[in-house]
């Protein structure tokens, strides 16, 4: 067992923890909450957020640390060249978007201040778009890691 193997296992576990939560929110909880009266809907979203946001922050940090560490071990920035490392760039893009949401937008309460949380359709669409991008990163990452591209 090498350091790389252990980092990869932690990386994958973090991604499962974090994107699994995003999947549940997007495909089950938000559609369920969207049937409630507006005030109760927002309360339920914030209750869930209160429980999951810190978990997601830890998982995002773990995925980022292990990802950068593996990158360092296996070739560094040279692997990020679009022509052959685009699937790692896609992971990085997903990571940056979620980190911005979790560490900047949410602590500043931007979804509430901009009125986004009050719009059920748009709020769900944003989650669905981020989920689709994250699933694409997982799909392409699993193939890319085995030299499939
Ligand atoms: C800072 C952000 C990230 C960096 C630097 C990074 C980097 C890496 C590296 C270097 C590998 C190993 C590739 C290899 O085996 O040669 C890897 C694997 C992988 N990463 Fe990331 N990653 C990041 C974020 C993410 C995110 C956000 C996701 C998914 C949403 C993701 C999903 C995966 C998957 C599925 C694998 C392949 C696992 C396997 O089947 O072997 N990574 N990542």
Domain ranges, ordered by start, for the chain: 3-144
Q: For residue 135, give the 3-state DSSP assignment.
A: helix
Among 1, 51, 65, residue whose Cα is nearest residue 21: 51
Measure Cα distances from 68 to 4, 29, 55 in Å: 11, 32, 20
**Ligand 1 center to 67 CA (angstroms):** 6
91, two tokens: 């992971």
Rounded CA-CA distance 54/60 in Å is 10
C-beta of 68 in contact with ligand 1 (< 6 A): yes
Which residue owns the Cα nearest ligand 1 atom 34?
141
Mean pLDDT of 3-24: 98
pLDDT at 1: 81
Which residue among 4, 16, 88 has the greatest number of ligand 1 atoms within 8 angstroms of its CB, and so is best to mutate? 88
Predicted TM-score (pTM) of the model is: 0.96
Among 135, 116, 2, 117, residue whose Cα is nearest residue 48: 117
pLDDT at 6: 98
Percent of the chain with pLDDT over 70: 100
């Amino acid at each position: 067992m090498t350091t790389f193997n252990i980092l990869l296992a932690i990386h994958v576990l973090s991604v499962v923890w974090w994107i699994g939560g995003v999947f549940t929110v997007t495909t089950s909880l938000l559609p369920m909450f969207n049937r409630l009266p507006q005030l109760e809907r927002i309360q339920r979203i914030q209750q869930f957020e209160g429980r999951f946001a810190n978990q997601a922050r830890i998982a995002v940090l773990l995925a980022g640390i292990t990802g950068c560490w593996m990158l360092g071990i296996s070739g560094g920035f040279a692997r990020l060249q679009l022509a052959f490392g685009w699937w790692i760039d896609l992971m990085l893009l997903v990571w940056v978007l979620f980190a911005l949401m979790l560490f900047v937008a949410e602590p500043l309460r931007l979804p509430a201040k901009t009125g986004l949380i009050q719009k059920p359709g748009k709020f769900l669409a944003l989650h669905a778009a981020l989920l689709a991008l994250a699933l694409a990163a997982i799909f392409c990452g699993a193939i890319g890691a085995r030299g499939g591209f």
